[in-house]
Chain A
Amino acid sequence: MTVQVLLPGVLAALAGGEKHVHVDPAGDTLADLLDALAAEHPTLTRRIRDETGQVRRFVNVYVDGDDVRFAGGLEAKVRDGAEVQVLPSVAGG
């Protein structure tokens, strides 16, 4: 299966300048997707999740428009052809 990951501009440099990254995860969960993304782009994936595998507090991940926090977290299902969007949350200062 192939999934498209949509990145904010600030992270695109860590994916060779690409804002759209195609990933082929081994399984159908967000955790599988992030594992596959980490294999290709380890520094990029560290921005999204910490070393325990958890998505960072101020990073929002949407699978086909659904916030994964309310859709199973790392176990959120990711279908073939899905769009997974990564966005910084409303935070900072």
Chain B
Amino acid sequence: MTDLLAIGTRKGLWLARSDDDRRTWTVDGPHLLAQEVAAVSIDTRGTAPRVLAGIQYGHWGPTVMWSDDLGSTWNESDHGAIRFPEDTGAALARVWQLRPDTADRSGVVWAGCEPHSLWRSTDGGVSFELVRGLHDHPHRPTWQPGGGGGAVHTVLPDPASDRVTIAMSTGGVYVSEDGGEKWEPRNRGITVSYGPDPLPEYGQCVHKVAVDAGDRDRLYAQNHFGVFRSDDAGTSWTSIAGGLPVDFGFPIVASPTTPGTAWVVPLVADMQRVPPDGRLRVHRTRDAGATWTELGEGLPDDAWVAVMRDAFCADAGDPTGIYVGTRDGCVYASNDEGDSFTLVADHLPDVLTVKAATLP
């Protein structure tokens, strides 16, 4: 059995493989050298694993590319997989998220993009269609760009229904219960520190959202200050940051198999995006945020680096593996749910995204 870890960076993509239950890794790359890879996914639903990459050519613009041979060759649509329709007057700036749907929704891939937009593919990511229901939402003109740009950065299709949950910086959490036609903001209880109203209906800078393994209505959110949990599919949120040293950060990851388990990587503050005391640490909860445990075996001290919102992920292994990529080009892997980490790669460009999969 082979585990594959895709590492998207500011200047290319690396693919790491492990054949010994994620203890040691062989790193292959760079692929797509000199291209920013801000989104990546490994789609294992087909006959061959497909690596999808949302890339930015720098001078030459953004697009989606795919490889069906683990990076040996890459393809792209002649006319671009993601193109804003002419009537929108918009142009794609960056692909922030590529999310294959469940196995029974063959070929369906979701993309979250900048400017704020959600896209759906039914052909495995070769071409995408703009989700008009979100694009036409009356709130959209008021969603503002965060420091990284205004984007849909999180897409969470529900395996058991037509619900789709997204998160935006800024904009907050929006949910559709009908596959994308109608959308409503679900941010009650998530705070805002940069506006006069601390609890607006929408407009929050939610950095990442994850779904609990045991309850499709239980969500975790790392906010621009604040870590929150919802037990009612986002309708209301309560703070779960009490057991953390600080409440700022970008990613949040939930275990795909163990209810109540999630991880965050705290950073000091928005004006100080480094780990407290320069010690890179992951914090894990086993009780849905009631308590948190600091984990650091194998993670560095004197690491004055941030972890981006998509540079932290879990795999579907047993026990769960988690993976952390840093802005100084290091990637750490844990095959024991965060109890210990090993270095997968270092001296890469800034890590923007990591995604793991077990190859069939």
B225 CB to nearest chain A CB (Å) = 30
Tell me the A6-57 residues at the B interface (CB within 8 Å): 11, 42-43, 46-48, 50-52, 54, 56
Task: Kindly specify which of B79-87, B100-108, B234-242, B309-317 makes contact with the partner chain.
Answer: B79-87
Residue of A with least CB distance to B60: A47
- B58–A46 CB distance below 8 A: no
- B58–A92 CB distance below 8 A: yes
Residue of B with least CB distance to A42: B78
Residue of A with least CB distance to B79: A42
- CB neighbours (8 Å) of B91 from chain A are 50-52, 54
Does chain A have a CB within 8 A of B347?
Answer: no
Most buried by A among B59, B79, B83, B90: B59
Residue of B with least CB distance to A57: B59
The interface on chain B, measured as residues whose beta carbon lies within 8 A of the other chain's beta carbons, has a size of: 17
Does chain A have a CB within 8 A of B57?
Answer: yes
Does chain A have a CB within 8 A of B76?
Answer: yes
- When A52-B91, A54-B91 are in contact, do A46 and B59 touch as well, CB less than 8 Å? no
Question: For chain B, what secondary structure do more than half of its interface residues adopt (helix, strand, loop), or is it mixed?
Answer: loop
- B79–A91 CB distance below 8 A: no
- CB neighbours (8 Å) of B76 from chain A are 43
Tell me the B1-40 residues at the A interface (CB within 8 Å): none
- B59–A56 CB distance below 8 A: yes
| Contact partner, A50, options B58, B59, B78, B92, Cβ 8 Å | B92
Does chain A have a CB within 8 A of B245?
Answer: no
| Contact partner, B59, options A42, A43, A52, A88, Cβ 8 Å | A88
List 7 A-B pairs, minimum CB-CB distance, nearest first.
A47-B60, A50-B91, A88-B59, A58-B59, A42-B78, A51-B83, A52-B91
Offer 15 A-B interface pairs, CB within 8 angstroms, sorted by A: A43-B76, A43-B78, A46-B60, A46-B61, A46-B80, A47-B57, A47-B61, A50-B91, A50-B92, A56-B59, A58-B58, A88-B59, A89-B59, A91-B58, A91-B59
